Each structure stands twice: as C-alpha cells, then as structure tokens.
Structure 1
Amino acid sequence: MGVKSPQNEGELDYSEIQKYYSGSTLLITGATGFLGKVLLEKLLRSCPGIHKIYLLIRQNKGVKANKRFIEQFSGPIKISDVRFYLRLLEVDNIHDLSRRIVYIHDECVDQIVEISGDRGRSHISLVDGSVIELFDKMKLCCPNYAEKVAYIEGDIAKVRLGIGADDYTMLTKEVNLIFHVAATVRFDEKLKIALNLNVQAIKEMLELSKQTVKLKVKCSFHPQEQFS
C-alpha cells in the first residue's frame, strides 16, 4: 500500500466546510474590527484551501490603509472588546457569543473563561487591559498566510465603497464569497453617519454583489443579528 503525501491526506480529510471554501476568493469588510479579526483568523486557520482573501481597509485618523493592513496581524484582541460585544448581543457567556457569531479557538475561550471566574459570565470579573494575541496560533497553522491576504483601499461610506475602478473590476471578476462585517455599533451615532455606514453601505455592497460573476454567497454581520 502506497504512503499518502501530507498534502493529499490533508485534502482527503477536509470537512464539508473546508471543501466549500477551498479554491475560493473572499472579500471581507470590517476586518480591522473585533468581529472581522476573529472571522479572518478563523478562516485562515481552519480553511487552508482558501485561495485569496481581500480586506477592504480605509485610511483612518491619518493612518494609511497599507499601514493598517500591516498592523492587522500584530494587534491583540482586548478582553474589554469581548465584554462589549457580550453586552451588545445580550448573551451571558463567551460560548454563546462564539456560537452566534464565529467560533473563537479553544485557547482564547479558555483564557477568557478563566479570568471571568464564573462560567464565562461577562459581568463578573473580566479584566480590562488583558489581551489575547489572536493571530499567534493561526500563524503556526498557516505560515503562508501573508501570500493569501491582500488589502483593497476603500471606504464603505462612499459611492462604490470608495474602491478604485481597477480594483472594483477585479473584485467583480474574482470574488466568490463576501463577508460584510463593517458597520457602526454606536447607538448614539449621528444619523447621517449611521445611515451611510449601516444602510447606504449595504446598498453599495449589494450592487457590487450583483456585478460579481463568480459569487457563491454574501454574508452580513450586524450587532443584533446575523443573516446571509
């Protein structure tokens, strides 16, 4: 009996989800935020067959998009951010949060539960300032991650998502799946800004989706609900 190569063996062992993503090109908005980072980490770590992931990144507070992209894989996830989303989604513990949004790998869950003190309940003893280096485990599992991820400069608040003509055309030809995670979660946001970010941006994303010839599915994540 012949010995299987690790690559072939890995392909045979792919789950249905991994097979679905294999060879796909993805576009993610909001990847520099908490939810977007966790989603990106999960995809890179758990779906090694992904061909390419494009991140839509805007210039923010004088920091150019390319610098924000470089910093994307070095920034930690703050425990205080996790607590914020637990409260926002009205869930009691980190396990409920991971089921409702995206799965957070076991190492992170254990750390959060340990310092919270009581079955992961967010309001008991989470320590502000404690951090989890989100991408460390992914970098071990997917050492070639840098070859799979690229950024597209844009701004969801602008027409055509602020994407240049050449990049826009490229996305319509290459992208298979879109995750629209970008939004404002401030409930006291100025109405005009909130409409641009949470309403107009979705219309622009749907327009991009309609022009994307190889699109399989578009998913949108919102503070109170998720739908696809």
Structure 2
Amino acid sequence: MLTIPDSCVENGIESIPEFFAGKSVFITGGTGFLGKVIIEKILYSCPQVENVYILVREKKKIAAQDRMKALFDCPVFNRLREERPEDLQKIVPIAGDIVAPNLGINAEDEELLMEKVSVVIHSAATVRFNEPLKVALGINVEGTRKVLNLCHRMKNVKLYPPPMDLEKAYELAKDLNGEITQQSLSESLVNDLHGDIPTAIVRPSIAIGKGYCKTIIGDKNNILDVIPVDYVSNAILYEEE
C-alpha cells in the first residue's frame, strides 16, 4: 500500500523525480528484500527527494541504528555509495515495530513524520505462506490499520475486492485457534478505512532478483508466478506519479 498527495494531478507533475522533489517518504518494511530496492530506487532516481524515513525495529538485540549500518552495506546501494554517497544520509531510521501499539513510534518521531511526510509506502508484512491466521492478522491487517491511522494524522498526505469479510476472518481465527493459513485481507481494511486519502495497492507475484537461483525444478507446463524485484519497485513508484 502507498499513499500519495493530490498535488501530482493538480500541479501537472511531468515526471516521477519531479513528483518526489522536496518531499519526504515514510516506508515500512524498508529493511526487507523489496523495501531496500524501493529505497535505493527513490534515492538514486529522485535526487531531490528530501528524506526517506524507515520504520526499523530492534532484531535479535540489534539496535535500530546498528541495523541501518548493515542496510548501507547491502550491494543494492553500491551505485549510490560510488556516485552519490551523500544521498545515503537522507535515510532516517524511525525506531518502532509494526505489531506494537501506535507502531512503537515515540512522540517526538511521530510529530516529525506528521510534519514532514508526503508519501507513505507500507510494505511491512509477514511473507510466510503457512503463517497461522491469527498471527498474520496481527501483522498484515492490524499493522496496516496502524499505518492508516498514522496517515490520517499526517498534515501533508492526501491520501480490489477482498477474498472475505474482515470480521469473518477474525471469527475464523478465534474458532479455529489459528489452524488455517491467512488469506489476503489487508486490502479490505484499506478499502474501508482509507477515507479521503488517495490510495493505491500493489500486490505483485513473488519478487525475485538476487541471481542465486539459476534453475527451478518443476513441470514445464506450469506457469512460474514470479516477477523481477526491479519491476515491482518501478511499478510502485510509477503508481505514485
């Protein structure tokens, strides 16, 4: 999910770099596989973007700031390090957790986001296909609800059919003790709660692109439902323009 201001239409923005010029972005899931590609694409292709704020949680007792150091070492940022290393300073970590109340963001950082952010890209989610429904709802659905609540408080943000009713999904999770796996339900929540925030949902196939997997064993008559990760990141930014 990403949210965009109406100004791109009203002001006749001609290109994606022009749209991002002078704006700040808030990203969840930024330390994940797709998130890192999106961040690099924004910084490299939109040199006049102001800042990219990333929700970062402590992981295995590694502080958010230390996780950022590992992020900068990722090969996806090689061309930025070589050509415009100063642009990496635009990445600002926001300590928090998608499952915590109010995303675990402290009052000072929340005020910063509400004042500065114009674009929100929410990509934090569990990607385990066998995740118990109760766990998946807590991360994917309730996490989305918290991001939407934050979007509604942001001063500069002007923010398809679900597989089942959201309330029914919660009933199933309660009755079956999480023994069934999740279906994609966050779209239903976004559809119900985005209000007057212009919103786009990008739900790609599995994104791949590290180059490690040279062959895949399978039936030649089957369709391999995957997509290169750069196609996904480009499509997300194009949706905003």
Please classify the TM superposition score into its range, dividing by the shorter chain length: 0.5 to 0.7
Q: Which residue of 2 aligns with 1:37?
A: 36
Residues in 2 aligned to 1:135 and 1:15: alpha-carbon distance in whole angstroms: 27
Residues in 2 aligned to 1:163 and 1:157: alpha-carbon distance in whole angstroms: 11
The Cα of 1:221 is off from its aligned counterpart by: 4.8
The answer as to 2:142 corresponding to 1:200 is yes
Residues in 1 aligned to 2:66 and 2:201: alpha-carbon distance in whole angstroms: 26
The Cα of 1:219 is off from its aligned counterpart by: 5.5
Q: Deviations over 1:182-228 (max 9, x none)?
A: 10010111322211110001110110000001115565554659788
Q: Deviations over 1:45-74 (max 9, x none)?
A: 110000111110001122111111111111
Q: 172, 180, 184: which is aligned to 2:122? A: 180
Asked if the contact 1:180–1:221 (Cα under 8 Å) also holds between the matched residues in 2, the reply is no
The 4+ residue runs of structure 1 with deviation greater than 3 A are: 216-228
Q: Deviations over 1:13-67 (max 9, x none)?
A: x961111000001101111100000101111111000011111000112211111
In 2 relative to 1, CA 65–220 (structure 1 residues): closer, same or farther, beyond 3 Å?
A: farther
The Cα of 1:134 is off from its aligned counterpart by: 1.1
Normalised by the size of structure 2, how large is the TM-score? Answer: 0.60
What letter matches 2:31 in structure 1? T
Residues in 1 aligned to 2:90 and 2:158: alpha-carbon distance in whole angstroms: 19
Asked if the contact 1:179–1:220 (Cα under 8 Å) also holds between the matched residues in 2, the reply is no
Q: Which residue of 1 aligns with 2:157?
A: 215
In 2 relative to 1, CA 64–176 (structure 1 residues): closer, same or farther, beyond 3 Å?
A: same
Asked if the contact 1:180–1:219 (Cα under 8 Å) also holds between the matched residues in 2, the reply is no
Normalised by the size of structure 1, how large is the TM-score? Answer: 0.64
The answer as to 2:79 corresponding to 1:144 is no
Q: Deviations over 1:119-147 (max 9, x none)?
A: xxxxxxxxxxxxxx211112233221232
Q: Which residue of 1 aligns with 2:48?
A: 49
Asked if the contact 2:51–2:91 (Cα under 8 Å) also holds between the matched residues in 1, the reply is yes
In 2 relative to 1, CA 165–219 (structure 1 residues): closer, same or farther, beyond 3 Å?
A: farther
Aligned length, in residue pairs:
158
Q: Which residue of 2 aligns with 1:163?
A: 105
Asked if the contact 1:53–1:150 (Cα under 8 Å) also holds between the matched residues in 2, the reply is yes
Runs of 5+ in structure 1 lacking a partner? 1-13, 76-132
Asked if the contact 1:31–1:55 (Cα under 8 Å) also holds between the matched residues in 2, the reply is yes
In 2 relative to 1, CA 37–199 (structure 1 residues): closer, same or farther, beyond 3 Å?
A: same
Residues in 2 aligned to 1:201 and 1:72: alpha-carbon distance in whole angstroms: 22
Q: Which residue of 2 aligns with 1:93?
A: none
Q: Which residue of 2 aligns with 1:17?
A: 16
The Cα of 1:174 is off from its aligned counterpart by: 1.1
Q: Which residue of 1 aligns with 2:60?
A: 61
Runs of 5+ in structure 2 lacking a partner? 1-12, 160-198, 207-235
Secondary structure of the residue aligned to 2:137 is helix
Identity of aligned residues (%): 36
